[in-house]
Chains A and B, each alone.
Chain A
Amino acid sequence: MAEFKYCNYPLNDFDGYIPYIVTGKITKDDVAAINNDSNKKLLILKNTVNQDSQIIGKISKEKALFSVLGGLDYLQKNKYRHPHYLKRTINSPKVLSEIIKFFEQIESKLRPFWNDTEKCLYVYKTLVEKCHYQYDGEAENETLDGNDYKVIKSLSGLLFDRLVCVGFALAFKEEMDRLGIPCYYQSYQNHHAWNVVKLEGAYRGIDLTWDCYHKKNNKCTFNYFGRTPKFYENKHHCLDNEPEERKFNLVPFQDEELKSHLKNIGEELVKTFPLKTFENIKGETIKYYNVVEEDYTKYYIDLFGKLVVVYLQDQIMPDSGLTIENIEKALTNDGFIGLKPENKTPDYNLYQRSDGSTFLISKEFNHQKNVAEFCYLDIVNQNNANQIRRSFILSENNLAEITDETIKLYIADELLSKKRLESKLKDFNGYIGYIGEDYKKHYSPKFEQELNIQGHRR
C-alpha cells in the first residue's frame, strides 16, 4: 500500500483538496479508502513510477486529484511555486491514467537487453515521431474529464500528440524517471525547456523540441541527442539567471557511438515483414521472405501456414530449386536444399506445436546472467495477409540448442503457446520465463525488476 503523508505546504486552499505526499504504489485498497473518505485529497506524486494506470483510473475525481511533480517540483524549487506551474502538474485520476497508459505503451516496445542509452534513444525517437510541435493557431488548452488543461505545456499534451518545449521536456523526464535513468528538467523560465540525462557515466544534453521541429519526413534526426555542449551555449539554453537550475558539464556522444546504438534500436521488440510471392517452374506459388548471405540465400517460407526456413546456394535459381518437394526434403536435411555443407550449421531451431503451427528460434543474441535473448519467428495474419513476425524473447532455457523432440513439443505447447506468447510480448517485453527440471513454468521476478520489464512494474 502507498503511504500518504500530509503535506504542510501552502496548497491547503486548492479547491478544498487537502495535499498529501504519496510514496509507494497506490493499490486497490488505497483506491477504496480514497473513494470512501469524506475528505478530498490532492495526491502529490514525485512521478508516476510504479503506478498502475488501471488502478489510478478507478479513483473518483470528486475525491482526489493528482499533482505529478516531475520536472516542476515546486516542493524543491521556488521558481515553480507560481499557481500556473502548479496547475500544469494537476491531473484528474482518469487523465493521469491515460497519461500512464501512453508511457506503458512506449515501455512495452523496449527490448530488455537494450542498455540505458538505447532505451533513451528509443523514447526520444518515439516522442519526436509521435508528437508534433503546436502549429500556429492550434489550441493550447483542451477540455479533459470536464476540466480545462493547458495541454501543450503538460503531460496531458501526450493525449493529443501536441506539445511545446515545456511539454516535451516534462514528458521525456517522466519516461526517464519511469525507466530509472537519471534525468533533469532544465528551464530557462518563460522561454525554453530541455533535458539533461545521465548516460554511460556522463551528462548529455537532450532537446526534443529542436528535433521535433526539424524532423525530416517525420523521422527523428537525433541531431539534438547528446549534442556538443556548444549547442547549449546559445541564448535559448542560457541558465545564467536561473540560480535553482543545476549547471551540468555536458559530454557529447561521438557519431560512431550513436550509430552503434541506433542500429540496435532499429530492431524493435516486434516487427513484421511482408511475404513476397513467385511462381516456380512447377506452377506452384511460393510465399517467401529472403535474406541474401555470402554463400547461401536464406528463404523463410510460408509452407501452407507453417513457417520454415531453407537455404539455397546462390547458383540454383529459385524458380527451379524452390519447389514444394525440395522444401519438404530440405526439412529433413537441416533446411539445406541439395547437399548440406560440412562447415555450415542451420541458424534456426524449428519448433512445432500440437496444433501444427510452427515457429523458428535463432541462436542466442545477448546473454546476461542466466537469461538469453533469442529471435522468434512465426507467421501472423495482418490486414488479411500472412506476414513474417520477428520478435525477441528472453528465456533461461537455451531454446536454440534443444534437440529433444519431447521437450521441444512441451516448450512449444506450454512455454510458447500462442496465447502465452502474445501475453509475454505485450506485457512482459518478451520475457517468457523457463521450463525447470520439474517440467513446470517458472519466471524470475528479480530478473524482471533488474531489466525494467513492463509486467513487473504493473
Chain B
Amino acid sequence: MNFETSTLKAQFKLPIKSKEELEKIKKLKVNKISLSGEILKVNYEELLNFPNLETLYFENCTLDFLAMSILTKLNKLKKLYLINCEILDDNSKLLANLNLENLVIDHTVLNFNNLPILKASNITLARIDMPNIKIITENLDIANVTYQNIDFLNNIIASTIKVPYQMYIQNENVFNLLSSKIIVLEENTNFVYKEVN
C-alpha cells in the first residue's frame, strides 16, 4: 500500500492488508507530498482496491489517463476534490463523465478546452481562471476564481452562485437579472455581503 493519506492514517489501520478492510473505506486522501516535504510514490491502480469509495481527495498529484480512467470505475464516487493537481491534457473529458455530488477544483491545472461540460450537484472552483464552458449544478462557488470578463455566465445553469464582491459590484445589473440566487461575499473575506434574486 503506497498511499500516504491523512484520512487513512486517522483511521489507524495502516498497513491495511485484508480486502474486506479496504472495501470498508469510503473516504481517501491521496497526497504525493508529505508534510515533511517528501515526494511519495503513488500507484493509482491501487485505487481499484477501494470499490466503495465515496469521497476522494487528490492533492499535489499529476493525474494521467490511467488515474482518470480508474476514477470512472469507482461507481460509488460522489465527492471528488482536486487540490494543487495537474490533469494531463487529454484526460479532462473523463472528468465530465463522473456522476458526482461534489466537485472541487482548487488550484489545479486542467485543460478546459477539452472539457465539454462540468456537472455535479455542488461545484467549487477556486484559484483557477474561470473557464468558459458549460456548467450544470445546483450550487456553484466561484468566489475565489480569477476572470477576465463574465461571459462565462452564459454557460452556467445553477440554482445558487457564490461570487466575490468585486465581480458582483462591477456587473451588478447582469447578476440581478439572472434567475440564479446570487450569494455575494464581502470584499476579501468569506463572509456573506448580501444575497440577491
Contacts and interface: CB of A to CB of B under 8 A. Distances in A.
A145 B6 contact: no
A105 B36 contact: yes
B107 interface: yes
Given A98-B10, A216-B127, A236-B189, A137 B102 contact: yes
B10 A135 contact: no
Contacts of A130: 35
B59 A236 contact: no
A382 B38 CA distance: 9
Interface stretch (A207-215, A277-285, A320-328, A441-449): A207-215
A215 B9 contact: no
Contacts of A125: none
Interface string B122-150: 10101100000000000101001000000
11 contacts: A105-B34, A135-B126, A137-B79, A137-B102, A137-B139, A138-B102, A138-B104, A142-B27, A144-B11, A210-B188, A236-B189
A423 to B, nearest CB: 15
Given A94-B12, A137-B101, 4 more contacts: A136-B122, A159-B7, A210-B189, A236-B189
Contact of A136 (B12, B29, B124, B188): B124
| Interface of chain A: mostly helix, strand, loop or mixed | mixed
Interface in B141-197: 141, 144, 162, 188-191
B84 interface: yes
Interface residues of B, number: 37
A95 interface: yes
B9 A135 contact: no
Nearest to A426: B36
Given A135-B141, A136-B141, A217-B107, A160 B35 contact: no
Contacts of B29: 160-161
Contact of B162 (A105, A108, A136): A136
Contacts of A232: none
A218 interface: yes
B139 A136 contact: yes
Contact of B10 (A109, A160, A382): A160
Contacts of B79: 137-138
B10 A95 contact: yes
A108 B189 contact: no
B47 interface: no
Interface string B38-50: 0100000000000
A135 B104 contact: yes
B84 A382 contact: no
A160 B12 contact: no
B184 to A, nearest CB: 15
Nearest to B188: A214
Nearest to B162: A136
Nearest to A215: B127
Contact of A159 (B9, B34, B106): B9
Interface in A372-428: 382-383
Contacts of B55: 139
A133 interface: yes
Contacts of A218: 83-84, 107, 127
| Interface of chain B: mostly helix, strand, loop or mixed | strand
Contacts of B9: 98, 159
B74 to A, nearest CB: 18
Interface of B: 6-7, 9-12, 27, 29, 34-37, 39, 55, 59, 79, 81, 83-84, 101-102, 104, 106-107, 121-122, 124, 126-127, 139, 141, 144, 162, 188-191
A135 B144 CA distance: 11
A211 to B, nearest CB: 11
A106 interface: yes
B191 A142 contact: no
Given A144-B10, A217-B107, A383-B39, A161 B59 contact: yes
A159 B6 contact: yes
A126 B35 CA distance: 8
Contacts of A108: 36
B59 to A, nearest CB: 7
Contacts of A106: 35
A289 to B, nearest CB: 18
Nearest to B36: A105
Contacts of A137: 79, 101-102, 121-122, 124, 139
Interface string A161-177: 10000000000000000
A132 B127 CA distance: 12
A160 B7 contact: yes
Contact of A109 (B37, B59, B127, B188): B37
A150 to B, nearest CB: 14
Nearest to B38: A382
Contact of A145 (B12, B101, B122, B144): B12
Contacts of B127: 215-218
A135 B189 contact: no
A109 B36 CA distance: 7
Nearest to B120: A137
Interface string A194-214: 000000000000000110011
Given A130-B35, A136-B124, A142 B107 contact: no
B35 A105 contact: yes
A174 to B, nearest CB: 15
Contacts of B39: 382-383
A95 B10 CA distance: 7
A80 interface: no
